């Protein structure tokens, strides 16, 4: 019976997290289990003005702008608000579960070494409020997701300057690639809405594709074609209507940082049946580095609208909806230069020779 009581007492202490074995084997009382890791952040989460994430060779800074979260390292471009909120809530909800090592030479095992350490994999997160007040500052180490998505995961952390590392309960995902924080979707215009595309090379040569009414296949309209050549039928022409469909960025910077006049490689003009007009300038920097800037307007004179079955099937919108769409796109894209996925970028610099082939038998 006496042995059972002793065992029970030790078990209770271990579960409570009140006693921890030091690396030397000596017992030391450590309190904190169940407490909030960042109480100031939890109380003031709605007043957060910025947060930074520092890694070995990367630092990103997210600021609360007038219209939402923006990325300092990307010239103040918009950050996905869901991702920003998820990180802040994740930190605010962390609760200590148990103490861990105090020995610096063991920090790397759980990823809480200083971010300046050789081959460091830790993340230093600093959250600030009004006046630059620090609401939370933690070195985040290894994380584990909850099994089968049930309950909280676990996060190792250490406070800068403190020796003690801790394990906390919570869900935290930290991305150090600035691009993965951004609002990456630029536009999503259904291909059936596209009526005409005019591509102009830097030397002034034009390539035009288009169709007369919704539902028709888009065709090459450039005439005359070189002798013995015909339009390709391999999808190269119809593929151009994907230029604004599910259009995402791969990088972004202020348009003023790109000299489009000096480095102009061409332009593109895309017109929809319902009045949307998107114009693009393409600059070539170096051998393969292309940047694109957009302007968006609404043309009420050429707004067909969803007047019949074919127009509705093609995705055409009413004039008021397209006017709002154009205004939103113009506001989002104005003043920025973008890099696009290779396939998408290619649509904006297609040449006539890309769309024609030798006539069979010629």
Residue 9: pLDDT above 90? no
Mean pLDDT of 233-250: 96
Closest to 159 in 3D by CA, of 136, 175, 143: 136
What is the end-to-end Cα distance of the chain in Å, rounded? 102
Contacts of residue 194, defined as CB under 8 A and 6 or more positions apart, other chains included, come to 218, 240, 241, 243, 244, 270, 271, 272, 273
Residue 242: pLDDT above 60? yes
CA pair distance 25, 7, nearest whole angstrom: 18
Q: What is the residue-wise DSSP string for 280-327? A: EEEEEETTTEEEEEEEEEEEEEEE--S-SHHHHHHT---HHHHHHHHH
pLDDT digits (tens, 9 = 90+) for 15-59: 333 333 343 333 344 556 789 999 999 999 999 999 999 999 899
Closest to 249 in 3D by CA, of 360, 124, 147, 340: 340
> Please, are residues 167 and 97 in contact by the beta-carbon 8 Å criterion?
yes
> Please, are residues 91 and 159 in contact by the beta-carbon 8 Å criterion?
no
Share of the chain above pLDDT 70, in %: 90
Residue 10: pLDDT above 70? no
Q: What is the residue-wise DSSP string for 4-60? A: HHHHHHHHHHHHHT-EEE-TTS-EEE---TT-BS-HHHHHTGGG--EEEEE-SS-EE
Residue 291: pLDDT above 70? yes
Average pLDDT, the chain: 90
For residues 292-330, one letter each, b for 16 or more C-beta atoms within 10 angstroms of the residue's C-beta and e for the rest, the string is bbbebebeeeebbbbeeeebeebbbbeeeebbebbeebe
User: Furthest-apart CA pair in the chain: how many Å?
Assistant: 103
User: Residue 88 has what DSSP assignment?
Assistant: H
Q: Provide the pLDDT confidence category of residue 149 given band limits of 50, 70 and 90.
A: low
> Please, are residues 37 and 92 in contact by the beta-carbon 8 Å criterion?
no
Q: Hey, which residues does 289 pair with through a beta bridge?
A: 285
What is the reported pLDDT for 99? 96
Mean pLDDT of 87-99: 97
Q: Which two tokens stand for residue 146?
A: 């909850």
Residue 158: pLDDT above 70? yes
Which pTM does this prediction carry?
Answer: 0.85
Q: Provide the pLDDT confidence category of residue 145 given band limits of 50, 70 and 90.
A: confident
The vertex-313 CA angle with 278 and 267, nearest 5°, equals: 15
pLDDT digits (tens, 9 = 90+) for 293-333: 999 999 999 899 999 999 999 999 999 999 999 999 999 99
What is the reported pLDDT for 318? 96
CA pair distance 142, 68, nearest whole angstrom: 30
Q: Provide the pLDDT confidence category of residue 356 given band limits of 50, 70 and 90.
A: very high
> Please, are residues 316 and 305 in contact by the beta-carbon 8 Å criterion?
yes
CA pair distance 357, 303, nearest whole angstrom: 34
Residue 274: pLDDT above 60? yes
What is the reported pLDDT for 188? 98
Contacts of residue 207, defined as CB under 8 A and 6 or more positions apart, other chains included, come to 198, 199, 200, 201, 220, 222, 350, 351, 352, 355
Residue 248: pLDDT above 90? yes
Phi and psi angles of residue 144, each rounded to the nearest 5 degrees, phi first: -135, 135
Residue 120: pLDDT above 50? yes
What is the reported pLDDT for 32? 66
Dihedral sign from CA coordinates of 253, 255, 257, 263: positive
What is the reported pLDDT for 31? 58
pLDDT digits (tens, 9 = 90+) for 219-240: 999 999 999 999 999 999 999 9
Mean pLDDT of 155-161: 97
What is the reported pLDDT for 146? 77
Indicate the pairing of strand 27-29 with strand 336-339.
Answer: unpaired
| Whole-number CA gyration radius for the chain | 29
Mean pLDDT of 267-292: 96
């Amino acid at each position: 019976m006496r042995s059972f009581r002793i065992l029970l007492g030790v078990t209770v202490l271990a579960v409570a997290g009140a006693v921890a074995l030091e690396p030397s084997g000596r017992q030391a009382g450590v309190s904190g289990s169940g407490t909030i890791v960042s109480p100031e952040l939890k109380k003031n989460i709605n007043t957060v003005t910025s947060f930074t994430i520092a890694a070995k060779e990367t630092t990103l800074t997210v600021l609360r702008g007038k219209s939402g979260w923006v990325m300092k390292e990307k010239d103040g471009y918009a950050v996905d608000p869901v991702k920003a909120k998820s990180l802040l809530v994740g930190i605010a909800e962390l609760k200590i579960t148990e103490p861990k090592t105090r020995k610096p030479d063991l920090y790397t095992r759980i990823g809480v070494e200083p971010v300046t350490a050789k081959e460091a994999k830790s993340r230093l997160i600093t959250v600030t409020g009004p006046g630059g007040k620090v609401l939370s500052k933690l070195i985040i180490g290894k994380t584990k997701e909850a099994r089968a998505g049930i309950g909280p995961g676990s996060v190792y952390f250490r406070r800068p300057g403190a020796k003690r590392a801790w394990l906390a309960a919570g869900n935290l995902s930290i991305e150090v690639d600035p691009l993965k924080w951004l609002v990456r979707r630029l536009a999503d215009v259904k291909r059936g809405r596209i009526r005409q595309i005019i591509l102009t090379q830097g030397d002034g040569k034009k390539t035009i594709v288009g169709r007369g009414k919704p539902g028709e296949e888009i065709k090459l309209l450039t005439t005359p074609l070189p002798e013995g050549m015909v339009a390709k039928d391999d999808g190269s022409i119809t593929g151009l209507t994907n230029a604004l469909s599910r259009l995402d960025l791969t990088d972004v910077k202020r348009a003023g940082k790109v000299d489009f006049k000096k480095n102009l490689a061409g332009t593109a003009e895309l017109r929809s049946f319902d009045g949307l007009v998107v114009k693009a300038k393409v600059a070539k920097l170096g051998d393969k580095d292309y940047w694109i800037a957009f302007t968006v307007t609404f043309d009420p004179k050429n707004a067909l609208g969803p007047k019949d079955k074919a127009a509705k099937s093609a995705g055409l919108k009413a004039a008021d909806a397209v006017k709002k769409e154009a205004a939103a796109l113009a506001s989002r894209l104005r003043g920025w230069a973008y890099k696009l996925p290779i396939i998408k970028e290619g649509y904006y610099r297609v040449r006539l020779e890309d769309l024609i082939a030798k006539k069979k038998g010629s």
